[in-house]
Amino acid sequence: MNHKTDIVKAGEKNIEKTRTLETVLPPVDIYESEEEILLFADMPGVLKEDVKVNIDNGTLSLSGIRNLQPRGAARWEEFGDVEYRRNFSVPQTINVEKVYAELKDGVLKLHLPKSEAAKPRLIQINAA
């Protein structure tokens, strides 16, 4: 068990304590066709401007921050403000320039088109 015990209490170090968002893994579906890889990620309550999709050096990282703005007093609360975050490794054959994303009904749909060189090709056989 990697249970670390600090000699100095954390409360003494953090003079100004900031509220940290809980990070959760969004559930995803991944499909692949000859043209593209299609990724769906559930991010209910996340606004379009709070979603970040980043592809860097073969790593695709998704991040979405949910800000619920509750009203009144909570009688029960099963979900709160979270950050959805998940990383994937992307194959070299993806055309990074043409990646595009849509957000509808709290589901992020990410199209990752394959580059021309990676698409299957039918080779014509010439009669000798």
1 binds another protein (CB under 8 A): yes
The span from the CA of 34 to the CA of 59, in Å, is 21
Q: How far is the CB of 63 from another protein (least distance, A)?
A: 15
User: Among residues 21, 101, 107, 118, which is the contact residue for another protein, using CB under 8 A?
Assistant: 107
Q: Token match 């055309």: residue?
A: 95
Residues paired with residue 87 on neighbouring β-strands, in sequence order: 61
Least Cα distance to 41 among 99, 90, 98, 111 occurs for: 111
Q: How far is the CB of 118 from another protein (least distance, A)?
A: 15
Query: Do the beta carbons of residue 87 and residue 102 sit within 8 Å?
Result: no
Q: How many chain residues bind another protein (CB under 8 A)?
A: 37
Considering the complex, state which of residue 29 and residue 119 has its C-beta at the smaller distance from another protein. Answer: 29
Considering the complex, state which of residue 74 and residue 127 has its C-beta at the smaller distance from another protein. Answer: 74
User: Among residues 38, 53, 96, 118, which is the contact residue for another protein, using CB under 8 A?
Assistant: 38
Q: How many CB atoms lie within 10 A of CB 4?
A: 5
89 to 1, 25, 39, 60, 72: CA distances (angstroms)? 29, 15, 13, 6, 42
* Contact code string over 53-92 relative to another protein, x by CB under 8 A: ---------------x-xxxxxxxxxxx------------
111 binds another protein (CB under 8 A): no
Q: How far is the CB of 116 from another protein (least distance, A)?
A: 19
